[in-house]
Amino acid sequence: MTVIRPNSISGINSITANGGDINLFRADGTKADIPIVNNITAGVITATSFSGSGANLTSIPAGNLTGTVADARLTTVSSSKLSGALPALDGSALTGVGIGTDGSVNTSGIVTATSFVSNTPFSNRNRVINGGMLINQRASSYTATGEEYLLDRFNHRTGSGFTFDTTTTQSTSAPDGFTKSLKITPDSTQTPSGSHNGMIGHLIEADNLLGFASGTSSAKSFALSFYAKSASQNNNHQYSVQLSKKNSGGTYYYQNRSFVVTSSWQRFTVVFPADTSNNIATGNGEGLRILWHLSAGPDDIASAVTSWTSSNGNHAVTGQSNFMDNTSNEFYLTGVQLEVGPVATPFEHRSFGDELIRCKRYFNMVADGSEARSGSSRSEGVIGNGFFWSSSRMMVPVKFQVTMRTPDWTLYKKNGEYRYYANGGSNQTCTQNDIGLNGQEGLNSAHLNITNISSSSAAGMFFVHDVNAALGFDAEL
């Protein structure tokens, strides 16, 4: 090894090692820092500081980079390099922000926009009338074994002569946001056989279904939702719901699903697919029926039908329980909604008055003796002003509050006492069987014909006169 110990060396261009490295030592013999080296090919260099160009530095570990990167250095950052949670950003200047066709926006905040455009309606979404079970014009309680309307627009239905022996009331048991429900309970136990059916039904007028565009390439889905519960006795009973569309030729196309009730309120949602093949009838007749099967005979129970299938029958789903197997069973129903589109939205609450007017197109209770205020000494309800066509025949025109669905309505006469008052206060009572029609029925008025009376007056007024009497007009489907 050659050792050189000069105080100063200058003008040397090259030092060539003789078979090894070149080492620099301090005066005390320790290895010194390297002050100037142009090309070091191996080993580790440490220094108090480095200066000069770093243009050729490569393979610097990311963890060794600290400090702030100047904005100018961030001109293009690949989207693939962006991941993880975004920090709080001011997005006020974002442009071109869109949602894919399969995207959804969910927020607990408020969304505002210049306009909202939807393929499904924002209002009048619910095609079911009285889905919240608020309106109950006919009675406080219904005992039935066969076909009968109950709370407005909902009916008690049977199939193949089944004794669907029940009592239905308007209950105050209801889920949050509701005050009423339809409650039905068996009055006797029954075992359905063959094609027996016991059902609650809701029939919808055809022209109220135009938005579904059935039978066209623009056909829309049917989103049905409802709240239901049972008593503890029939907790976990399985029932079925059937949707049947009636086409312009009078043929029904149906699908059905099962649902399991518990003694707590649940909201059930079924989205029936659009039907591009089969139309729905138009006009003021039936266009669609919703059937809740509570009992069904074995001939009408099969696997759920999930494509539109032609049948005018009643169909429950495999696993169907028998609601009529115990008189302690109960079934509650409310919040019924049928809407256009693939999503069941929150129930559309309409005002009581709005719902009542809609109901009166199908059933219009003109006078009800049971509706007198509490404490009233009388149970009179005005039917109309009348005149005596003859001494034994009174005519009473009645103007409807709402145009009826059809002029071929049925006159509903509750059995009780009716009375006319003539000029001077003279009066005479009659019964429901003395009330007829004189052939001038229409969409907007009726002309009652009262017989079995006698009067010498020219005019008078006609009333229901006890709590049992009531008079209405029925144009239900």
Furthest C-alpha separation in the chain: 154
Residue of 160, 233, 393, 397 that binds another protein (CB under 8 A): 393
Write out the two tokens for 55.
């243009």
Interface with another protein, residue 433, by CB under 8 A? yes
Using CA atoms, how far apart are residues 441 and 397, in angstroms rounded to an integer? Answer: 10
Residue 239 sits at φ, ψ, to 5 deg, of: -120, 180
Please, which of residues 371-390 interact with another protein by CB under 8 A?
389
| Integer Cα distance of 254 and 314 in angstroms | 9
Does 411 engage in binding with another protein (CB under 8 A)?
A: yes
- Minimum Å distance from CB 166 to another protein? 13
Q: Which of 438, 457, 461, 467 binds another protein (CB under 8 A)?
A: 438
| One residue of 75, 375, 408, 424 binding another protein per CB under 8 A | 408
431 contacts another protein (rule: CB under 8 A): yes
In whole angstroms, the minimum distance from the beta carbon of 372 to another protein comes to: 18
How far apart are CB 261 and another protein at their closest, in Å? 28
Contact 222, 337 (CB under 8 A): no
Minimum CB separation from another protein for residue 324, in Å?
Answer: 20
Please list, in sequence order, all residues whose beta carbon lies within 8 angstroms of the beta carbon of residue 47, skipping any fewer than 6 positions away.
33
Beta carbon nearer to another protein, 34 or 467: 467
Give CB contacts under 8 A, 24+ apart, made by 167-175: 167/141, 167/142, 167/143, 168/141, 168/142, 168/144, 169/140, 169/141, 169/142, 170/133, 170/136, 170/140, 171/332, 173/229, 173/332, 174/133, 174/227, 174/265, 174/334, 175/227, 175/265, 175/267, 175/334, 175/335
**Buried b or exposed e, range 270-280, using 16+ CB within 10 angstroms:** bbbebbeebbb
Of residues 131, 178, 179, 126, the one with CA closest to residue 153: 131
Contact 470, 367 (CB under 8 A): yes
Please calculate the CA angle 120-121-124 and round it to the nearest 5 degrees. 145
Among 126, 329, 432, 455, contact with another protein (rule: CB under 8 A):
432
Q: How far, in Å, CA of 219 to CA of 216, rounded?
A: 5
Q: Closest Cα to residue 324, out of 195, 200, 193, 165?
A: 165
CA 356 to centroid of chain Cα atoms:
20
Binding-site size, another protein (CB under 8 A): 32
β-strand 266-272 against 286-296: which pairing, if any? unpaired
Of residues 123 through 152, those in contact with another protein by CB under 8 A are 143-144, 147-148
Q: How far is the CB of 400 from another protein (least distance, A)?
A: 16
> What track of x and - describes contact with another protein for positions 440 through 469 (by CB under 8 A)?
xx-------x-x----------------x-
Decide if residue 71 touches another protein (CB under 8 A): no
Residue 164 CB, nearest distance to another protein (Å)?
14
Whichever of 144 and 324 has its CB closer to another protein, that residue is 144
Site string for another protein, 253-292 (x = CB under 8 A): --------------------------------x-------
Residue 412 Cβ, how far from another protein at the closest point, in Å? Answer: 6
12-20, 105-113, 298-306, 432-440 -> range binding another protein (CB under 8 A) = 432-440
DSSP code per residue over 339-353 = EESSS-PSP----HH
| 282/415 with CB nearer another protein | 415
Q: State which of residues 415, 423, 454, 456 lies at the interface with another protein (CB under 8 A).
A: 415
Instruction: List residues binding another protein (CB under 8 A).
Output: 143-144, 147-148, 285, 389, 393, 406, 408-415, 431-433, 435-441, 449, 451, 468, 474, 476-477
